[in-house]
A and B are shown apart, each in its own frame.
Chain A
Amino acid sequence: MAFLELEGVRKSFAGTVAVENFDLGAEKGEFVSFLGPSGCGKTTTLRMIAGFELPTAGSIRIDGSEVTNRPPNRRNVGMVFQSYALFPNMTVADNIGFGMKVRGKPRDRINTKVAELLDLIHLGGRGDRFPWQLSGGQQQRVALARALAIEPQVLLLDEPLSALDAKIRVALRHQIRSIQRQLGITTVYVTHDQEEALSLSDRVVVMSEGRIEQVGAPADIYNFPATRFVASFVGTLNLLEARVVDAPAGRLSLAGQEIRAGGAVDASNGSPVTVAIRPEGIELGTNGGTNQVTGAVEDVSFLGSIVRTRLRLDDAGTTLSLDTFNDPNLTAPAIDSTVTVSFPPEACLVLASAAAPPPQTDAVTAAEALL
């Protein structure tokens, strides 16, 4: 039995279903992320674990005991809010010690714990400051300390870093993870930033429209997306429409050029399928694998450590993006020049098709469509 269990959890509001059929078991000390776009139900599910929303159906258990109907102030879960929610009339120290104070803990114990936590979040000695005197990152750390002060069984974080600058976000998320590891608290982390989810979690729960799309380790989610949605949301995969030529042999026709998938294809010959190929799995030239595709260079983007080249494969607008590590000594291919790229069959994933095949997208337009 897992430490945190959600079974058949469902939440509907006046006709709309926000969360459907949510099943999850998180082990003690595990760091699980809920990843998905706005409105997918991830925050609602988190709030149900915290007790701020009541599930319409299903049950939630923490360490074996049923908490589904327990009011939020009796659950011993610590929550870090997106907007920090620090009490403005109290100092940092009072904020952190608040949970212990309302539980009637003795003063000296509170002071010791608060000092401990202040050191943990690298704000030692600043306990007498007020929230409005701190920066966003500092406030978020105080919010984290406040949630940890009550020694919760489960730690919940609701998009805690979305209000911060990129650099601070990266630094802070490492801090959060290392503190979590140190303390061994089961953690649920809600985010729409796939980089955060992938870099921090033991497991990722990808959600869309109230449903779980896939649960797995970051590498599995990224390398082996189960559905089209997961493939397009996580990472920057190429999603292309192809037609099955020879199902058992895995031969597909992509923009008029033939490629092979990693294995047999579960579809009939001639039917359309969605193919996902990671940009970093494709190589310029013919040494990348047995699949060879030719196209005209449409765009070359310099992304820092990575150079992303986009090829136009046919006149219907089919494009393919590939990523190569930045090498200052190599010149990028010229725009409109014809190049051949190659990738191994294993890099080519055939996905369960959606109900109606959506128009072909590459990584960039897929991301734009989610905006």
Chain B
Amino acid sequence: MSGAGGAQPPFGPIGVMRSWLHTSDGGRRGFGAWWAWVIFILGALYFILPLVGVFFHSIRTRPDIFLAYRQVFADPAFLRGLGYSFTAGVITVVVSLLIIVPTAYWVRLRVPRLRPVVEFVTLMPFVIPPVVLAFGLIRIYSQGPVRLAASDTGLNVMLIGAYVVLSFPYMYRAVDTGLASIDVRTLTEAAQSLGSGWTRILARVIFPNLRTSLLSGAFLTLAIVIGEYTIAQVLARTMAFAPYLSLLGRNQPYQPAAVSLISFGLTWLAMILIAFLGRGSRARVQVAGAR
């Protein structure tokens, strides 16, 4: 999302100052076009009202209107769910980065011909329904040589594996866009001429320059992992956040609303953080897709 992109490219020596002449189509001076305000307000209403609905529902408890929130924070399952999914998310991000960044780098630099193939593979997770992926994993790993499904740790490994694959479309896109905006070839050649080996190049030259892209890809992956339900359910990871929420929804009237609002708010804060951190960087940031 270009919120993280920020600055517009400067045109001419006068910089960003906009003359009203070339932003309008006939000389309309003023503070935003009328149609823009209409559209924006309509959009804002559409987005905010449902959140208001959730909020109102979450404060239906009497006499203490914030009872639901208190219960949520006091519930060990909430923290456990959040903790588990957050940890899973972080591990997913790390593994994904370790696989994607070298791969994207390698593809760009050494095997550009395989680029469409790699891109296609990273887009595959969009195409496969998660329930199918999950069942496939269970079936494969509950028999044969690798019995991951037999143990709790094994199931966790499968979960991470599935999530890493799920993160590929976003991670690869983010990293690829980031690599496109820095001159990878020249940077590499410069580093090599100074005597750097591959790992050092990756660690010291490539990673730091991809900071914004990596951050955005990481946050998105985190959001996806925390919100993911199907795979967690199939792999019997009931301690994950989304299954917890689903269970809560079946048993409690008001707490799910509170939880939804909390997680929405936290995610939005995180996004604003990325936008803030990524300000001034030329790297375009990746976009999410929902299920």
Contact = CB atoms under 8 A, between A and B. Distances in A.
A112 to B, nearest CB: 31
B17 A13 contact: yes
A30 B21 CA distance: 28
A44 interface: yes
Contact of A72 (B14, B20, B21): B21
Task: Name the residue among B20, B22, B26, B27 with the largest chain A CB count within 10 angstroms.
Answer: B22
B27 to A, nearest CB: 6
Contacts of B20: 54
Contacts of A18: 14
Nearest to A18: B14
Nearest to A47: B12
B29 to A, nearest CB: 10
Nearest to B13: A39
Contacts of A47: 12
Q: Chain B binding site: helix, strand, loop or mixed by DSSP?
A: loop
Interface string A244-270: 000000000000000000000000000
The bracket for how many chain A residues form the interface is 10 to 19
B12 A71 contact: no
Contacts of B17: 13-14
Interface in A60-92: 71-72
Interface residues of B, number: 10
B14 A52 contact: no
Interface in B26-50: 26-27
A53 interface: yes
A43 B12 CA distance: 7
Nearest to B26: A71
B13 A52 contact: no
B20 to A, nearest CB: 7
A38 interface: yes
A160 interface: no
B14 A43 contact: yes
B8 interface: no
B13 A43 contact: yes
A254 B72 CA distance: 88
Interface of A: 13-14, 18, 38-39, 43-44, 47, 51-54, 71-72
Given A13-B14, A44-B13, 19 more contacts: A13-B17, A14-B17, A18-B14, A38-B13, A39-B13, A43-B13, A43-B14, A44-B12, A44-B14, A51-B21, A52-B21, A52-B22, A53-B19, A53-B21, A54-B19, A54-B21, A71-B21, A71-B27, A72-B21
27 contacts: A13-B14, A13-B17, A14-B17, A18-B14, A38-B13, A39-B13, A43-B12, A43-B13, A43-B14, A44-B12, A44-B13, A44-B14, A47-B12, A51-B21, A52-B19, A52-B21, A52-B22, A53-B19, A53-B21, A54-B19, A54-B20, A54-B21, A71-B21, A71-B26, A71-B27, A72-B21, A72-B22
